[in-house]
């Protein structure tokens, strides 16, 4: 299986490095100076065992990579427009496009611009942070859940999951990708937002503050209710499960906080805007998410205004 990694941030490096170390034919798109990666390789720090890929197949363009069997999309949703030009050189008739992006709407975007038969989605229940251009730290290697967009999983999905499993990734297959998308939002919506709005704090800081902990649980319950309104039977117990797991991980900074501190655009629409719109259309009330979404939009607009001065 010839594999391309589009988006060499924490997620792309984590899964790409594991696949490459496991013997897969992996090719990384790295838009920028390649010298450091070619000189130092890629390194994943993890409690359960670190790994390094010394010889990295890396390129400045997807044209150099050429057609692949699997394209793993790990760019932020804010860069989806770039995929229109990046993906075509990687395609053949049976190429699988696996988006590991956060939020809602990414599979729909790919299906709109490329054949729907190409599209799969994956949910990374994982805590990883990029330390440098060549290193990431994995606080929790977690699990990967993947499925076909708009249809049940099949032989292709099983083959890709097997490729991940062979390389030491805890990977499972689902027939209900939309359900898993909403399940992950139960964590992403509160923790990514509150880490920014509370002044740049970790998940441990959020859970260690009584008021923020209650706010997190209230937002989680609201997302569970919205998912059910949208036809996805999430159990309220998922909120406490996430809380317990997050406590074990410790002082982790969510990816959106890293984006904010790095003055990068927030995935406002994918993580907060689109879930709010879909829930509202289904008749759900999400007053807390409305406030969170409005505050984040205001913060980003203020920053953009300052940058343009």
Within the chain, all domains assigned CATH 3.40.50.720 are found at: 2-175
Q: What is the pLDDT of residue 81?
A: 97
Is 184 catalytic? The answer is yes
Mean residue pLDDT across the chain: 95
- Of the chain, the percentage scoring pLDDT greater than 90 comes to 90
Q: Which CATH class is domain 179-304?
A: mainly alpha
Distance CA 232, CA 308 (A): 42
Note the pLDDT tens digit of each residue in 260-292. 999 999 999 999 999 999 999 999 999 999 999
Please, which pLDDT band fits residue 307 given cuts at 50, 70 and 90?
Answer: low
Within the chain, all domains assigned CATH 1.10.1040.10 are found at: 179-304
Distance CA 19, CA 37 (A): 17
List phi, psi (to 5°) of 200. Answer: 85, 55
Note the pLDDT tens digit of each residue in 117-130. 999 999 999 999 99
What the block records as the tokens of 178 is 């939309």
**Residue 304 scores a pLDDT above 90:** no
DSSP notation for the chain: -EEEEE--SHHHHHHHHHHHHTT-EEEEE--S--HHHHHH-EEEEETT--EEESS--EES-HHHH---SEEEE-S-GGGHHHHHHHSGGG--TT-EEEE--SSSSHHHHHHHHS-GGGEEEEEEEEEEEE-SSSEEEEEEEEEEEEEETTS---HHHHHHHHHHHHTT--EEE-S-HHHHHHHHHHHHHHHHHHHHHTTS--HHHHHHSHHHHHHHHHHHHHHHHHHHHTT----THHHHHHHHHHHHH-SPPPHHHHHHHTTPPP-HIIIIIHHHHHHHHTT---HHHHHHHHHHHHHHHHHHHHHH-
pTM for this predicted structure? 0.95
Q: What is the pLDDT of residue 207?
A: 97
| End-to-end CA gap in the chain | 49
Please, which pLDDT band fits residue 308 given cuts at 50, 70 and 90?
Answer: low
Q: Which of 184, 244, 285, 297 is catalytic?
A: 184
Q: What is the pLDDT of residue 124?
A: 94
Note the pLDDT tens digit of each residue in 189-241. 999 999 999 999 999 999 999 999 999 999 999 999 999 999 999 999 999 99
What the block records as the tokens of 162 is 């097997």
Domain 2-175 has CATH 3.40.50.720: yes
């Amino acid at each position: 299986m010839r594999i391309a990694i589009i988006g060499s941030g924490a997620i792309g490096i984590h899964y790409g490095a594991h696949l490459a170390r496991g013997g897969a034919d992996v090719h990384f798109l790295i838009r920028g100076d390649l010298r450091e990666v070619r000189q130092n390789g890629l390194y994943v720090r993890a409690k359960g065992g670190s790994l390094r890929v010394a010889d990295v197949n890396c390129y400045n363009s997807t044209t150099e990579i050429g057609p692949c069997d699997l394209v793993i999309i790990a760019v932020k949703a804010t860069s989806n427009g770039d995929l229109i030009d990046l993906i075509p050189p990687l395609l053949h008739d049976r190429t699988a496009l696996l988006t590991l992006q956060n939020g809602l709407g990414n599979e729909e975007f790919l299906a709109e611009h490329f054949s729907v038969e190409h599209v799969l989605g994956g949910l990374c229940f994982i805590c990883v942070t990029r330390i440098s251009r060549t290193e990431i730290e994995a606080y929790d290697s977690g699990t990967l859940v993947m499925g076909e967009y708009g249809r049940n999983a099949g032989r292709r999905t099983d083959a890709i999951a097997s490729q991940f499993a062979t390389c030491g990734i805890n990977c499972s297959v689902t027939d209900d990708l939309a359900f898993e998308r909403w399940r992950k939002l139960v964590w992403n919506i509160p923790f990514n937002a509150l880490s920014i709005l509370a002044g740049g704090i970790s998940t441990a800081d959020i859970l260690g503050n009584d008021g923020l902990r209650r706010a997190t649980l209230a937002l989680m319950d609201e997302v569970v209710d919205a998912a059910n309104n949208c036809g996805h039977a999430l159990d309220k117990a998922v909120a406490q499960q996430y809380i317990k797991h997050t406590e074990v991980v410790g002082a982790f900074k969510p990816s959106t906080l890293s984006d904010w501190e790095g003055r990068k655009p927030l995935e406002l629409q994918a993580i907060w805007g689109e879930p709010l719109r879909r829930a509202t259309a289904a008749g759900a009330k999400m007053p807390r998410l409305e406030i969170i979404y409005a505050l984040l939009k205001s913060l980003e607009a203020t920053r953009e205004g300052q940058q343009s001065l």
